[in-house]
């Protein structure tokens, strides 16, 4: 008999924090799960660490070479035996009620195909910043979800996503050519046809790391690529404030770091990608944002 939910965890050279992530899954109050750990060509002890747990619910897949987190997640999706899939990054952790809550929610709502939950963001040791809670709005219909997605009102990190396996397969899984915004891209594609919702229920912990891909300041090219794939992000007026916000945030980070050359390069790329009229309008909206929708 298949387990109720599959947890997919990609890992690449994370032997130091991997035990915390694995143990958070094994400590779940809900026991009917499988944990699929996909090693993405690690050169450290990550595979040995994963094998050391010896729990029969853990399946370890070794890709043999570094193909990227998206390829690792897709391999996990293909291998999953459950009708429901949750994700966890190897440097984050679940709260004990995570799987119990999401499985119950999908049982309560048979029409639901994708759910985004909420999380706590923890800073590294020694940081002067405090931990913050990233609570999502409670959304129960696809159109509101899609509008909130484009206007950047959703905290949409991959471990927030639980999705029916048949839905993520129909949506095309993760795009293996993307290094940034792959979760955003997947959610856009799935929200075109599936019943999507979000909740303010806090169910996992994100440990922020300055070395992580999500912390790297290359958001302008990533958003340009997202617009190329999903032109409505730029063309639909009610969605555009989200794009303007993303550009403003990235440009501000470069200015704050004293990287004036990076700012000029990003602005040139925006004009080249979107044309003078669209670029000027976007930059104006970035500097003088409209009230929230």
pLDDT of 206-228, one tens digit each?
A: 998 765 544 456 789 999 999 99
Please tell me the predicted confidence (pLDDT) of residue 208.
84
pLDDT above 90: residue 102: yes
Say which residues have a Cβ less than 8 Å from residue 209's Cβ, sequence separation at least 6: 91, 124, 215
pLDDT above 50: residue 293: no
Would you list the DSSP string of 172-218? Answer: T---TT-SSSHHHHHHHHHHTTS-EEEEEEEEEEEE--TTSGGGSS-
Share of the chain above pLDDT 70, in %: 96
Average pLDDT over residues 276-281: 93
Please tell me the predicted confidence (pLDDT) of residue 290.
67
d(CA 283, CA 185): 23
Where do the domains of the chain lie, and which CATH numbers do they carry? Answer: 5-213 (3.90.550.10), 217-287 (no CATH)
How many degrees, rounded to 5, is the angle at CA 199 between CA 193 and CA 204?
A: 110
pLDDT of 193-203, one tens digit each?
A: 999 999 999 99
Q: 175 exposed, middle or buried (CB, 10 Å; 0-12, 13-18, 19+)?
A: middle
pTM of model > 0.85 = yes
Say if residues 189 and 150 touch (Cβ distance below 8 Å).
no
Q: Chain-centre distance of CA 167, in angstroms?
A: 17
33 pLDDT tier (thresholds 50, 70, 90): very high
pLDDT greater at residue 248 or residue 11: 11
């Amino acid at each position: 008999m298949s387990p109720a939910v599959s947890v997919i965890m990609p890992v690449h050279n994370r032997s130091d924090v991997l035990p915390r992530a694995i143990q958070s899954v094994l400590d779940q109050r809900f026991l009917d799960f499988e944990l699929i750990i996909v090693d993405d060509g690690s050169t450290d002890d990550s595979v040995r660490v994963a094998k050391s747990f010896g729990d029969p619910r853990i399946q370890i897949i070794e890709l043999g070479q570094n193909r990227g987190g998206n390829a690792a997640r897709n391999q996990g999706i293909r291998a999953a035996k459950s009708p429901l899939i949750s994700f966890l990054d190897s440097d984050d952790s679940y709260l004990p009620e995570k799987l119990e809550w999401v499985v119950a929610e999908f049982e309560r709502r048979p029409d639901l195909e994708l759910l985004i939950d909420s999380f706590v963001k923890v800073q590294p040791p020694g940081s002067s910043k405090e931990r913050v809670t990233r609570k999502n709005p409670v959304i129960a219909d696809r159109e509101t979800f899609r509008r909130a997605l484009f206007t950047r009102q959703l905290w949409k990190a991959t471990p927030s996503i639980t999705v029916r396996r048949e839905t993520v397969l129909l949506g095309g899984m993760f795009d293996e050519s993307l290094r940034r915004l792959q979760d955003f891209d997947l959610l856009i594609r799935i929200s075109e046809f599936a019943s999507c919702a979000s909740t303010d229920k806090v169910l996992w912990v994100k440990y922020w790391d300055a070395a992580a891909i999500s912390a790297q300041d290359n958001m302008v090219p990533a958003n340009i690529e997202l617009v190329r794939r999903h032109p409505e992000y730029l063309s639909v007026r009610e969605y555009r404030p989200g794009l303007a916000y993303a550009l403003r945030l990235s440009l501000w980070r470069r200015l704050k770091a004293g990287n004036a050359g990076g700012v000029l390069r990003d602005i040139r790329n925006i004009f080249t990608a979107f044309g003078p009229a669209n670029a000027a309008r976007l930059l104006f909206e970035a500097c003088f944002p409209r009230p929230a929708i």
